[in-house]
Structure 1
Amino acid sequence: MTAVFEFLALHPVIVLFLLIGLGAALGQVRVGGVSLGAVAVLLVGMAITAWGVALGVSIELPAAIGDVGLVLFAFCIGIISGPGFFNAMKSSWALMLVVTGILIVGAAAAFGLGVAFGVSPVTIAGTFAGAVTNTPALAATGGSAEATVGYASAYIFGVIGALVVAALALRHRAADTDAPAPIIDKAVEIDTTSMPTADELSKRHGRRVLFSRVMPKDGEIEAVGPDTQLTPGAVVNVVGPSDAVEAVSDEIGHTAAVDIVGQRSELDFRRIILSNPRLAGRTVASLQLRERLGATIVRVRRGDVEFVATPDFVVLQGDRLRVVGPKRSMPAVSEFLGDSERGMADTNPVALGLGIALGLLIGAIQIPLPGGGYFGLGFGAGALVVGLIMGRIGRIGPFVTSLPNTAANVLAELGLLIFLAFAGTKAGSLIVSAIVSGEIVTLLLIGAVVTLTVMLGTYLMLRHVFRLGGTRLSGAIAGTQTNPAILAFANSRTGHDVRVALGYRLVYPAAMVVKILLAQVLVTL
């Protein structure tokens, strides 16, 4: 075996992909419905490196490999989270402040216990990152061997503790009263004589509904525009959340006996992928699809979530658009929007390269602190912040700042795997020493206290102060812990209830940023 390890020590690229492959295979093994996921790459890296040390062979990956993985992951997570992060800041800032406060208490607990046990600041920071299962926070500490040992020691209980609290939240699921209304279509025959326009009626109901097609009395079915008047005797198709659709139906008429959606001789509908990069980052209204081709976008599906295509909704490359329009115009609509699977995998290298470069420059800025020392965001946090902003903006003039959701998710996962392989090789030699010396017990204790403080604090505050239902709360717990494994657990227990994802996205971006900043603060204390 010594010869094998000596060969690996000379070929770090082989080591990188070997660790990714073996770790990913181990990460797919499920126990009790839960798997380690990407973090298994870290554990395999530590195990193989420790094995090599036992044979007198040192296996390490170059620091540049770790940096590339980190910034790729952080930037793409920012791109994905950007729209949700800034929307949550406007609508749920109080909840985000509470989660921030809980994480600060958890960091304070880690620091207090670490000082009491004589643990170094960098190891405390790594242990905190592991307890809250946040890899970018580990990277923000510099990804040193000491921090990685703390991270690995605390991570397992970080997952287990969060799973227990998420399961506790789901015990209350039967009493939930916050189930979101599904998006539906309904044909309504108009009784009212007020003859409102489609835009006026939509505005009156908070822009929650759209009108896709209308069949005037004794007329032909046609697409609905903002200025289309809804006249008595006409049948109009209303699209939106079921409660809003029913409210509109009650206001203007009654359920129609005729199914105008199924009549596709003149007016048709298709699900079309937005793959034309020139249209990404624009609002639905600015596409002027009705003015150009007489068609209307009524729904947008992004990832696994569907939205009503209100005029101010910003579409991104890779979105799947439900379009209604004249049958003869649909080929032209597809050509205009792109409708190519390749668009979902477009990595937008201009935005990717310039965005990450800007993030690295911001992360390299060092701010002097009182009493000496410096504070900086670091490469990971700098890339994350720039990604958040670019994901929210979507477009600057002709320059598209976002990436398709599919491409961003793939790149984020690849970056995470690369960084975890690097971190594992850094810590492999020290984990053996930590086990032999008994330090691992201390790190486990600190990590367990931090995990329970953060998870129970989140559970108590969000359930009893913010009155979140059990289903949405399980997603918020996964978001606070920024852990996809907890999210998968909650999804599997609820049949992928959309409230889990809504709770997760509500707190995930803020929790990610706060953890990264807290880890850097702990290193400097």
Structure 2
Amino acid sequence: MDIVFGFLSAQPVIVVFLLVGLGAALGRIRIAGVSLGAVAVLFTAMALTAWSVAVGEPIAIPPYIGDVGLVVFAFCTGIIAGPGFFNAIKTAYPLMIAVTVMLALAAFTALGLGKWVNLTPVTIAGLFAGAVTNTPALAATGGSAEATVGYASTYPFAIVAAMTAVALALRSRAKDTDAPAPIVDKPIRVDTTSVRKVTDIAEQHGNRVTFSRRRPGEGGPMEAIGPDTTISAGDVVNVVGPSDEVDAIAVELGHTSSLDITRDRSRLDFRRIILSESKLAGRTVGSLKLQSRFGANIVRVRRGDVEFVASPQFVVQLGDRLRVVGPTDTMPQVTEFLGDSERGMADLNPAAFGIGITVGLLLGAIQIPLPGGAHFSLGFAAGALIIGLVMGRVGRIGPVVTALPNTAATVLAEFGLLVFLAYAGANAGSLIVPAIASGEVFTLAGIGVVVTLVATFGTFLAVKFILRSGATRLSGVVGGAQTNPAILGFANLRTGYDVRVALGYSLVYPAAMVVKILLAQLIVVV
């Protein structure tokens, strides 16, 4: 093996992709329905590096490779989470505050216990990152070998504890009363004598519904509904939205019609169209003016695996799949206008990607003076994440699109994470064996158990008994607080991909990510 390791020690690029491939393959192996996922790359890198040290041909990966993977992951994660993060600030701040408080308590616990046993601040920060299963927090410490050993020593129990919390939450799932209503289409016959504008009705229901088509009561031709369309007695309209809102509108306007007007495609057609025209990305549905241009309208938007009602204020992005209703003869023009190309889902938007990461790195490099002559900086990971959050939320600045398609951002984020995990594991592999031999790993793991219990079960208890969250949503909150896709996957498998899991996860994930990174940085400088 010395010949093999001798070759690998001189070929770090080969080592990176070897570790990514081997680790990812091992991460797919399921034991009792659970797999390590991307984190298997970290442990594979540590094992392979420790082996290479044992045979006298240590392998290594240059730090700049790890930095590249890190900032790509952090920036793209911000792009994906941006819209949800800023919406969560407005609607879910109690959850975010609860998670922030518990993470701060966990960091204080890690710092206190670590100082008590004379650990270095960098090791404590790595220990904290592992105990809350957050790789960017590890990266915020610089990804040093000491920090990574702390991370690897505490990570395994943290995963088990989080999965246990999810399982405990779901034991009372049958008592949940917060199941979200599915998005449905319903034909409604209007019985009211008043003439009403559809946009006024939608606004009264918080723009959670949209109207797709109308069949006039006097027997006129079927038409796609626009912002100025009015309805009156005898009309049959198709309403799209959550089933409870649609049912309420049916009672308000008249009754459910036995005539399904969506089946009549003689004059109106509908289809899914991919938004691939970059000049339209980052704009609201209303600003596209499909009704005035083509007599058509967008009724639903599918982004990733989530479907939204296309309210006039909804901001569309490249790669979104738009459900469009319009006249049969203008649908080809609508398709051409929107693009409908697969490239819309994979367009990297390299200008926004490169400039955004550059700005994030500059932000992360700013040195903020602290009392006593010390300095604090966000670090590359936090800087890239924050700029990604802002750019993902803004979507467009004038003619410039600032966001990436969801598919492209997801792929880039996963690739960046895999590269960084390979670097971090290889960096720590030379120290893990001595740490085990000296007993340091067991000290780190013991402290990590306490920190994990504070962070994970503190969040569990606060959200369940103080905020009174439903069990299914709580399982997602636990995963989001851990910022760990493996926990999300575990909860999804247990619930059959209930949408409440993803909702709970997305509400707290962005805030938890930022807080963990900042806390890890603070631990290092304290």
TM-score range, shorter chain: over 0.9
Flag as ranges the 4+ runs of structure 1 deviating above 3 A: none
In structure 1, what is the equivalent of residue 247 of structure 2? 246
1:488 matches 2:514 = no
How far apart in 1 are the matches of 2:522 and 2:201?
A: 52
Q: Which deviates the most, 67-76 or 92-101?
A: 92-101
Identity across the alignment (%): 66
One-letter code of the match for 1:148?
A: T
In structure 1, what is the equivalent of residue 364 of structure 2? 363
Instruction: Please list, as runs of the form range in 1=range in 2, the aligned pairs for 1:235-314 lying within 5 A after superposition.
Output: 235-314=236-315
1:140 matches 2:162 = no
TM-score normalised per structure 2: 0.99
One-letter code of the match for 1:69?
A: G
In structure 1, what is the equivalent of residue 200 of structure 2? 200
Which deviations, in whole Å up to 9, do the C-alpha atoms of 1:81-119 show, x marking residues without a partner?
000000000111122111101000000110111111111
In structure 1, what is the equivalent of residue 83 of structure 2? 83
Deviation, 1:476, is 0.4
In structure 1, what is the equivalent of residue 515 of structure 2? 514
In structure 2, what is the equivalent of residue 152 of structure 1? 152
How far apart in 2 are the matches of 1:186 and 1:413?
A: 39
Which deviations, in whole Å up to 9, do the C-alpha atoms of 1:138-178 show, x marking residues without a partner?
00000000000000011111100000001000011000000
Alignment length (residue pairs): 525
In structure 1, what is the equivalent of residue 447 of structure 2? 446
How far apart in 2 are the matches of 1:227 and 1:254?
A: 23
How far apart in 2 are the matches of 1:451 and 1:32?
A: 22
How far apart in 1 are the matches of 2:79 and 2:479?
A: 20
How far apart in 2 are the matches of 1:62 and 1:287?
A: 47
One-letter code of the match for 2:503?
A: L
Q: Which deviates the most, 365-374 or 505-514?
A: 365-374
How far apart in 2 are the matches of 1:330 and 1:227?
A: 21
In structure 1, what is the equivalent of residue 10 of structure 2? 10
In structure 1, what is the equivalent of residue 24 of structure 2? 24
Which deviations, in whole Å up to 9, do the C-alpha atoms of 1:354-379 show, x marking residues without a partner?
00000011111111110121100001
One-letter code of the match for 1:360?
A: L
One-letter code of the match for 1:351?
A: A
In structure 2, what is the equivalent of residue 171 of structure 1? 171
Which deviations, in whole Å up to 9, do the C-alpha atoms of 1:24-73 show, x marking residues without a partner?
00000011111111111111111111011111112111111000000000
Which deviations, in whole Å up to 9, do the C-alpha atoms of 1:7-38 show, x marking residues without a partner?
00011111010000000000000111111111
Instruction: Please list, as runs of the form range in 1=range in 2, the aligned pairs for 1:21-170 lying within 5 A after superposition.
Output: 21-170=21-170
Q: Which runs of 5+ in 1 are unaligned?
A: none
Instruction: Please list, as runs of the form range in 1=range in 2, the aligned pairs for 1:450-489 lying within 5 A after superposition.
Output: 450-489=451-490
SS at the partner of 1:347? Answer: coil
SS at the partner of 2:186? Answer: strand
In structure 1, what is the equivalent of residue 187 of structure 2? 187
One-letter code of the match for 1:335?
A: E
Q: Which deviates the most, 221-230 or 501-510?
A: 221-230
In structure 1, what is the equivalent of residue 352 of structure 2? 351
SS at the partner of 2:231? Answer: coil
In structure 2, what is the equivalent of residue 405 of structure 1? 406
How far apart in 2 are the matches of 1:69 and 1:206?
A: 41
Deviation, 1:413, is 0.3
- Two-structure CA RMSD over aligned residues (Å): 0.7
SS at the partner of 1:300? Answer: strand
Which deviations, in whole Å up to 9, do the C-alpha atoms of 1:231-266 show, x marking residues without a partner?
111111011100110111001111112110010011
SS at the partner of 1:35? Answer: coil
In structure 2, what is the equivalent of residue 434 of structure 1? 435
In structure 1, what is the equivalent of residue 323 of structure 2? 322
How far apart in 2 are the matches of 1:208 and 1:500?
A: 21
One-letter code of the match for 1:521?
A: L
How far apart in 2 are the matches of 1:424 and 1:316?
A: 36
One-letter code of the match for 2:282?
A: G
One-letter code of the match for 2:169?
A: A
Deviation, 1:179, is 0.3
How far apart in 2 are the matches of 1:502 and 1:18?
A: 36
How far apart in 2 are the matches of 1:200 and 1:284?
A: 17
Deviation, 1:227, is 1.5
TM-score normalised per structure 1: 0.99
Which deviations, in whole Å up to 9, do the C-alpha atoms of 1:457-494 show, x marking residues without a partner?
11111111111100000000000000101100100011
SS at the partner of 2:255? Answer: strand
How far apart in 2 are the matches of 1:469 and 1:271?
A: 34
One-letter code of the match for 1:145?
A: A
In structure 2, what is the equivalent of residue 422 of structure 1? 423
One-letter code of the match for 2:46?
A: M
SS at the partner of 2:185? Answer: strand
One-letter code of the match for 1:469?
A: G
Instruction: Please list, as runs of the form range in 1=range in 2, the aligned pairs for 1:194-233 lying within 5 A after superposition.
Output: 194-217=194-217, 218-233=219-234
One-letter code of the match for 2:430?
A: S
SS at the partner of 2:196? Answer: coil
